A and B are shown apart, each in its own frame.
Chain A
């Protein structure tokens, strides 16, 4: 009987040891807690690139999709003969510099979905700090291109800020504080999910006739607190809309946008 007991113990321990061994032989990846990234006023491009690489491979989780080339374009290797992302970013959108294109891609991922891929990328400016965003941009530029991100691109606090744009005379806000609703809608990336006047995506409710469904107060509340009310049929998308417009828009912009949308009967 002892022989049988020993055999049973041997089989059990052997099986456990095999599974543990295999799990320890594969590449070991630990999910780290995001660390605050502090970049001084004298930060060099090399420091930015090094910091960006860490964010790209770590907290950013970018290689999950962009390192494979199946879910999203591969950023580190050649894509359709155009080279890595640093080499091709400046050619992706006419009139946009590499830096602008990369920032907008991180801020409004739905705006530039590469043909053949799904619009699955989350809004990275919601997940990363401005320092982290700009460090990633520097790292991506370094992949076959020239790094032109500088400390002046990185806002001291608040939003990540679009490249080459400084806060307008009416205080901080999107698109330089412009009160043109169309400019605000473009800068806020609303059309990445919503359709308006025939433009944009149909992921979230169509805003073309939003004024007939909601009054100005309801629209204002919805922009400031997106979970305050969910349109029927879109319950599963609850929580997708950023909650940050209250801090991104100044009062004049918010009011201009609300009135513009409310007029869309």
Chain B
């Protein structure tokens, strides 16, 4: 961008380009409105995904528990939708009054897509009302399939709405290169602006992250209802619901880093200096915090599974292994959180005795970190496998061979991960980066093949006893709260990273931020903002759930029916 263009922009900005917000300032006001809106939006987009999946399991598997669970998920959505819309409106009003010039620019580029967005939100809301209120009316036969189709449509509308909103924020990050500060926004073709470099990676990343987030919030909801339950049957139901929410969240979490890699690569390809700012510049410490948070997620998720094995007859035989799984997870977390590529001034370098820490330098590199995180994913998958198998004894004649093959697959995947991790120290960076693909493929391949074998091997398996749903110590439920808080905080942190790499630009190298809040704050300030946003969201979502409980009693049905209450057997 030329100096002249910057001067022109700065001069133009002196005339009512920015508004002021009392006490907290304009930036903080928009930050809170955007973040809380996003959290509600992620919830109302994530929950319908597994509401539809659980309804399908209920329909095609003939298990009514899943249908009831799906309805309970959907009930949580009703008021959450209103909250999403309210916070969206607050965000728009804040942008229009606090950043009027920038908002005018965005509307000039994206106007028609904003109309489509509003219309689709309307359609989506009505589809939700039909989906929920038609639940009992369209319960049987073809009507039920029609009802399920409504659920699918709900997801389709929601996904399109998210894609549209993503185009606005990704345009701010990565506007097409032919757009300059002098380009008249009214002349920019809409599709050209939408299909920018980071649009699709963000779409995919958010799609998966919404499932993770929705699962975590539902898990926290179930854990609260578990702790508040007055009967054993109610406790059993919410124990099971918490398990399903956690399972969905953790399963989707395993895939999320791969979408993150793709997004990171696109950012680097679009603008290397932006990528360097993100990974090694003033934001480098952010990734250490992220590593810590993800370590908390892995450890807490596994802890919940291990405690859960206490209510499964037959799980005793696997208990001795959990301490070794814990050792791998803790070691992995330590390596992953090891700082390496930090900004250091000459004094810090001198104090360290060189550009790297003499010992930690070797652990802080990508080879060690990729190896650590892949082994953590494998370990978590093994935890889940042990949990799944706890009360089953396979009876197929090839059970022993199958188990041996599964073991060999784990060993092979771990071997590949370790081999490329060590080899990475002896090759050029450009070669080393390619190794992460082999490591990821080995882990994903192992997860896929082992799961298929396990499903086939579990056919007609002998039961060692029914799962004693509800017989969980309260501390397990607090683990679900920690997971939900951590997922939400992590979402705020990553949002700060994505938005912060634009630094003092509203639209990267096209529209400069000339307000007094143009500097990108340090992580300390950002963390306070994130915590405030998380707290607001959790308070409101608790209120929303309480309202939902007032409107209608829980869909929980006492035992007596098929698979009801404490008689839950399956996972």
- Which residues from chain A sit less than 8 Å from chain B, CB to CB? 1, 4, 7-8, 11-13, 15-17, 19-20, 22-24, 26-34, 57, 61, 63-65, 67-71, 74, 76-77, 118, 120, 122, 127, 129, 227, 236, 238-239
Chain B contacts of A67 at CB under 8 A?
343-345, 349, 355
* Other A-B pairs, 8, CB within 8 Å; known A33-B519, A68-B344: A12-B538, A16-B534, A17-B531, A20-B531, A26-B285, A28-B524, A29-B285, A127-B273
- What is the CA–CA distance of A213 and B566 in the complex, to the nearest angstrom? 76
B504 within 8 A of A: yes
Residue pair B177, A227 in contact (C-beta under 8 Å):
yes
- What is the CA–CA distance of A33 and B504 in the complex, to the nearest angstrom? 6
Contact code string B265-293 (vs A, CB < 8 Å = 1, else 0): 00001011100110011101100110011
- What is the CA–CA distance of A36 and B178 in the complex, to the nearest angstrom? 27
Chain B contacts of A68 at CB under 8 A?
280, 341-342, 344, 355-356
Nearest Cβ distance between residue A230 and chain B, in whole angstroms? 9
Chain A contacts of B534 at CB under 8 A?
16
Q: Which residue of chain B has the shortest Cβ distance to A227 in the bound complex?
A: B178
Q: Which residue of chain B has the shortest Cβ distance to A69 in the bound complex?
A: B355
**With A11-B481, A15-B486, A23-B527: A61-B281 Cβ-Cβ less than 8 Å:** yes
Nearest Cβ distance between residue A132 and chain B, in whole angstroms? 12
A–B pairs, 13, beta carbons within 8 Å: A1-B228, A11-B485, A12-B538, A22-B289, A24-B523, A26-B289, A64-B284, A67-B344, A68-B341, A69-B354, A70-B341, A71-B280, A227-B177
**With A68-B341, A69-B355: A30-B519 Cβ-Cβ less than 8 Å:** yes
Q: Which residue of chain B has the shortest Cβ distance to A226 in the bound complex?
A: B177
- CB proximity to A under 8 Å, residues B518-558: 518-524, 526-528, 530-531, 534-535, 538
- What is the CA–CA distance of A45 and B276 in the complex, to the nearest angstrom? 31
- What is the CA–CA distance of A70 and B366 in the complex, to the nearest angstrom? 11
- What is the CA–CA distance of A26 and B284 in the complex, to the nearest angstrom? 11
**With A4-B227, A76-B349: A64-B344 Cβ-Cβ less than 8 Å:** no
Chain A contacts of B435 at CB under 8 A?
none
- What is the CA–CA distance of A1 and B228 in the complex, to the nearest angstrom? 7
Partner of B224, one of A8, A76, A129: A8
Chain A contacts of B485 at CB under 8 A?
11-12, 15-16
**With A1-B228, A76-B346, A122-B272: A28-B481 Cβ-Cβ less than 8 Å:** no
Residue pair A30, B482 in contact (C-beta under 8 Å):
no
B478 within 8 A of A: yes
**With A15-B486, A16-B534, A69-B356: A23-B178 Cβ-Cβ less than 8 Å:** no
Partner of A26, one of B273, B341, B489, B523: B523
Partner of B489, one of A19, A27, A34, A227: A19
Residue pair B276, A61 in contact (C-beta under 8 Å):
yes
Chain A contacts of B23 at CB under 8 A?
none
**With A29-B282, A61-B281: A23-B345 Cβ-Cβ less than 8 Å:** no
Residue pair B177, A239 in contact (C-beta under 8 Å):
yes
- Which residues from chain B sit less than 8 Å from chain A, CB to CB? 3, 177-178, 224, 227-228, 269, 271-273, 276-277, 280-282, 284-285, 288-289, 292-293, 340-346, 349-350, 354-356, 365, 429-430, 474, 478, 481-482, 485-486, 489, 500, 503-504, 513, 518-524, 526-528, 530-531, 534-535, 538
Chain A contacts of B528 at CB under 8 A?
20, 24
Chain A contacts of B513 at CB under 8 A?
33
- What is the CA–CA distance of A70 and B284 in the complex, to the nearest angstrom? 14
Q: Which residue of chain B has the shortest Cβ distance to A32 in the bound complex?
A: B519
Chain B contacts of A61 at CB under 8 A?
273, 276-277, 281-282
**With A30-B522, A69-B356, A76-B349: A63-B478 Cβ-Cβ less than 8 Å:** no
- Sort A-B residue pairs by CB-CB distance and give the 6 closest, nearest first: A239-B177, A23-B527, A69-B355, A28-B522, A31-B520, A24-B524
- What is the CA–CA distance of A74 and B349 in the complex, to the nearest angstrom? 10
- What is the CA–CA distance of A236 and B265 in the complex, to the nearest angstrom? 12
Q: Which residue of chain A has the shortest Cβ distance to B272 in the bound complex?
A: A120
**With A22-B292, A61-B276: A15-B343 Cβ-Cβ less than 8 Å:** no
Residue pair A118, B269 in contact (C-beta under 8 Å):
no
Partner of B522, one of A13, A20, A29, A127: A29
Chain A contacts of B429 at CB under 8 A?
71, 118
- What is the CA–CA distance of A31 and B292 in the complex, to the nearest angstrom? 23
Chain A contacts of B3 at CB under 8 A?
129
Residue pair A8, B481 in contact (C-beta under 8 Å):
yes
Partner of A16, one of B271, B281, B489, B526: B489
Partner of B355, one of A1, A70, A239: A70
Chain A contacts of B289 at CB under 8 A?
19, 22-23, 26
- What is the CA–CA distance of A120 and B276 in the complex, to the nearest angstrom? 10
- What is the CA–CA distance of A122 and B349 in the complex, to the nearest angstrom? 24
Nearest Cβ distance between residue B85 and chain A, in whole angstroms? 25
Nearest Cβ distance between residue A195 and chain B, in whole angstroms? 19
Nearest Cβ distance between residue A153 and chain B, in whole angstroms? 20
Chain B contacts of A30 at CB under 8 A?
282, 519-522
Residue pair A77, B527 in contact (C-beta under 8 Å):
no
Chain A contacts of B178 at CB under 8 A?
227, 238-239
Residue pair B527, A20 in contact (C-beta under 8 Å):
yes
Q: Which residue of chain A has the shortest Cβ distance to B280 in the bound complex?
A: A64
Residue pair B482, A29 in contact (C-beta under 8 Å):
no
Residue pair B224, A19 in contact (C-beta under 8 Å):
no
Q: Which residue of chain B has the shortest Cβ distance to A29 in the bound complex?
A: B282
Q: Which residue of chain B has the shortest Cβ distance to A1 in the bound complex?
A: B228
Chain B contacts of A17 at CB under 8 A?
531
Residue pair A29, B343 in contact (C-beta under 8 Å):
yes
Nearest Cβ distance between residue B386 and chain A, in whole angstroms? 27
- What is the CA–CA distance of A71 and B503 in the complex, to the nearest angstrom? 22
Partner of A74, one of B345, B355, B478, B523: B355
Residue pair A26, B288 in contact (C-beta under 8 Å):
yes
Q: Which residue of chain A has the shortest Cβ distance to B518 in the bound complex?
A: A33
Residue pair B531, A31 in contact (C-beta under 8 Å):
no
- What is the CA–CA distance of A8 and B538 in the complex, to the nearest angstrom? 11
Chain B contacts of A27 at CB under 8 A?
285, 342-343
User: Which of A1, A33, A76, A239 is most buried by chain B, counting CB atoms within 10 A of its CB?
Assistant: A33
Partner of A15, one of B227, B277, B280, B482: B482
Residue pair B535, A11 in contact (C-beta under 8 Å):
no
- What is the CA–CA distance of A15 and B478 in the complex, to the nearest angstrom? 11
Residue pair A19, B293 in contact (C-beta under 8 Å):
yes
Partner of B523, one of A28, A65, A71: A28
Nearest Cβ distance between residue A222 and chain B, in whole angstroms? 13
Chain B contacts of A22 at CB under 8 A?
289, 292, 527
User: Which of A7, A12, A69 is most buried by chain B, counting CB atoms within 10 A of its CB?
Assistant: A12
- What is the CA–CA distance of A120 and B279 in the complex, to the nearest angstrom? 14
Residue pair A31, B177 in contact (C-beta under 8 Å):
no
- What is the CA–CA distance of A8 and B480 in the complex, to the nearest angstrom? 11
Q: Which residue of chain B has the shortest Cβ distance to A30 in the bound complex?
A: B522
